């Protein structure tokens, strides 16, 4: 019985993933690059455990693939768009590596929702441990040096470090020095990914945390928290400095690239109608009261959340994450920048 149950649990994600494969098959390349992904829920495509909040629960995934599939959105997330840009299938989540070995050639996604560079309240592996998983696979020859020489790493991290800091009653006065330590640890992680042989490492500049619905709920989703955004700007400035320094230390190439999520989020939020987005700060899926969140059910499995009529016209899906339409708009914006072009071989 137990075996049957675990078989069932395994085959569900498998079915979902084979749907993803079919979609990307048309973009097959002769000499494939690989995409390796590290960080948090902005890039996780299935690693977070079933049963933890969101991602594997209704109504997550209602737009794509039509049911919960481990993404913290109604549909595709940043990883899927970056993979598409590179002409790759979205890389297989680390958790499923044994079940779809034919997909290892597109790279692997090590990201887990809720995680940071340091430990957060999430029990999922922090970024250091995620890189350890990658290192172990290289040691086991799952990936060879020749694979890594044409590969890209995508990193999204730090938002949870800051939310955790604030949830722990961290002081505003202590925030700048905490930011410095987060950026220092991020830079250490980026160097470590490079030392494993990855040639291009793309790191997301931090999104405007003060504009996420979790921060704007107190103003009925009317205005971004500029205090919080100023701290994010400090983070991004320090990250820019750190990355510039890392690039200067690497002769004849600039392996580290920043994707400016801050500017692309702000730009979309400032001109929502360009992307047919309405009520740009209001999330599509919310708990019916503050004790519930998107995806909450009570002990009788009765829904305790509401979903908007048209997720395509919302930028935000839940209190923290963009909708697929939101990510598509951000991706459109990123395509107008230099950074995305630099990640192509």
Q: List, by residue number, the catalytic residues.
A: 41, 318, 321
Q: Which stretch binds ligand NAG (CB under 6 A): 5-13, 40-48, 113-121, 141-149?
A: 113-121
What number of chain residues touch ligand NAG (CB under 6 A)?
20
Q: Are strands 92-93 and 34-39 parallel, antiparallel or unpaired?
A: unpaired
Q: Which is nearer to ligand NAG, 149 or 195 (CB)?
A: 195
Q: Is 250 one of the binding residues for ligand NAG (CB under 6 A)? A: no
Q: From CA 343, how far away is CA 345, in angstroms rounded?
A: 6
Q: From CA 280, how far away is CA 316, in angstroms rounded?
A: 7
| CB of residue 122 to ligand NAG, shortest distance in Å | 11
Q: Which is nearer to ligand NAG, 119 or 279 (CB)?
A: 119
| CB of residue 229 to ligand NAG, shortest distance in Å | 9
Contact with ligand NAG (CB under 6 A) among 24, 104, 142, 166: 166
Surface-to-core class of residue 167, CB atoms within 10 Å of its CB (0-12 exposed, 13-18 middle, 19+ buried): exposed
**Quick one: CA torsion of 251, 253, 259, 262, rounded to 10 degrees?**
40
| CB of residue 70 to ligand NAG, shortest distance in Å | 22
Q: Is 126 one of the binding residues for ligand NAG (CB under 6 A)? A: yes
Surface-to-core class of residue 321, CB atoms within 10 Å of its CB (0-12 exposed, 13-18 middle, 19+ buried): buried
Q: Which is nearer to ligand NAG, 126 or 296 (CB)?
A: 126
Q: From CA 268, how far away is CA 228, in angstroms rounded?
A: 19
Q: Which stretch binds ligand NAG (CB under 6 A): 99-107, 184-192, 311-319, 333-341?
A: 184-192
- For residue 341, what are the contacts with CB-CB under 8 A and spacing of at least 6? none
Surface-to-core class of residue 204, CB atoms within 10 Å of its CB (0-12 exposed, 13-18 middle, 19+ buried): buried
Q: Are strands 34-39 and 151-156 parallel, antiparallel or unpaired?
A: parallel
What sign does the dihedral 247-250-252-257 (CA atoms) show?
A: negative
Q: Is 241 one of the binding residues for ligand NAG (CB under 6 A)? A: no
Structure tokens at 267: 């730009």
Contact with ligand NAG (CB under 6 A) among 188, 194, 313, 332: 188
Contact with ligand NAG (CB under 6 A) among 227, 237, 274, 335: 227
| CB of residue 189 to ligand NAG, shortest distance in Å | 8
Residue 319's CB: how many other CB atoms inside 10 A?
A: 17
Q: Where are the beta strands (DSSP E) in 24-178?
A: 34-39, 92-93, 107-109, 151-156
Residues 261-320 that bind ligand NAG (CB under 6 A): none
Q: Is 187 one of the binding residues for ligand NAG (CB under 6 A)? A: yes
Contact with ligand NAG (CB under 6 A) among 185, 207, 264, 296: 185
Q: Is 168 one of the binding residues for ligand NAG (CB under 6 A)? A: yes
Q: Is 50 one of the binding residues for ligand NAG (CB under 6 A)? A: no
- For residue 221, what are the contacts with CB-CB under 8 A and spacing of at least 6? 213, 279, 281, 282, 283
Contact with ligand NAG (CB under 6 A) among 65, 84, 119, 292: 119
Contact with ligand NAG (CB under 6 A) among 184, 195, 276, 341: 184
| CB of residue 7 to ligand NAG, shortest distance in Å | 31
Q: Which residues bind ligand NAG (CB under 6 A)?
A: 117-119, 126, 128-129, 166, 168-169, 172, 184-185, 187-188, 191, 218, 225, 227-228, 242
């Amino acid at each position: 019985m137990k075996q049957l149950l675990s078989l069932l649990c395994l085959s569900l994600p498998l079915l979902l993933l084979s749907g993803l494969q079919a979609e990307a098959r048309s973009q097959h390349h002769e000499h494939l690059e690989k995409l390796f992904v590290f960080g948090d829920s902005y890039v996780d495509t299935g690693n977070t455990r079933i049963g933890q909040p969101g991602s594997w629960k209704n109504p997550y995934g209602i737009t794509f693939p039509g049911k919960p599939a481990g993404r913290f959105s109604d549909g595709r997330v940043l990883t899927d768009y970056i993979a598409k840009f590179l002409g790759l299938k979205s890389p297989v989540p680390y958790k499923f590596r044994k079940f779809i070995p034919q997909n290892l050639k597109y790279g692997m996604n090590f990201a887990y929702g809720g995680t940071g560079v340091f430990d957060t309240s999430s029990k999922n592996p922090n970024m250091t441990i995620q890189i350890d998983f990658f290192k172990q696979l290289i040691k086991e020859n799952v990936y060879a040096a020749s694979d890594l020489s044409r590969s890209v790493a995508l990193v999204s991290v730090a938002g949870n470090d800051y939310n955790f800091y604030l949830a722990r009653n961290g002081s505003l006065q202590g925030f700048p020095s905490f930011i410095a330590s987060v950026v220092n640890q991020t830079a250490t992680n980026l160097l470590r990914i490079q030392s494993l042989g990855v040639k291009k490492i793309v790191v997301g500049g931090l999104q405007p945390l003060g504009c996420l619905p979790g921060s704007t709920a107190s103003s009925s989703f009317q205005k971004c928290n500029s205090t919080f955004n100023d701290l994010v700007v400090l983070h991004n400035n320090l990250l820019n400095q750190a990355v510039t320094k890392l690039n200067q230390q690497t002769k004849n190439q600039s392996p580290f690239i920043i994707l400016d999520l801050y500017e692309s989020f702000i730009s979309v939020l400032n001109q929502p109608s360009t992307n047919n987005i309405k009520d740009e700060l209001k999330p599509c899926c919310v708990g019916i009261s503050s004790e519930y969140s998107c995806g909450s059910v009570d002990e009788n499995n009765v829904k305790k959340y509401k979903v908007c009529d048209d997720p395509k016209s919302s930028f935000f899906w839940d209190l923290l994450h963009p909708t697929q339409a939101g990510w598509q708009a951000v991706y459109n914006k990123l395509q107008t920048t230099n950074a995305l072009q630099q990640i192509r071989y």
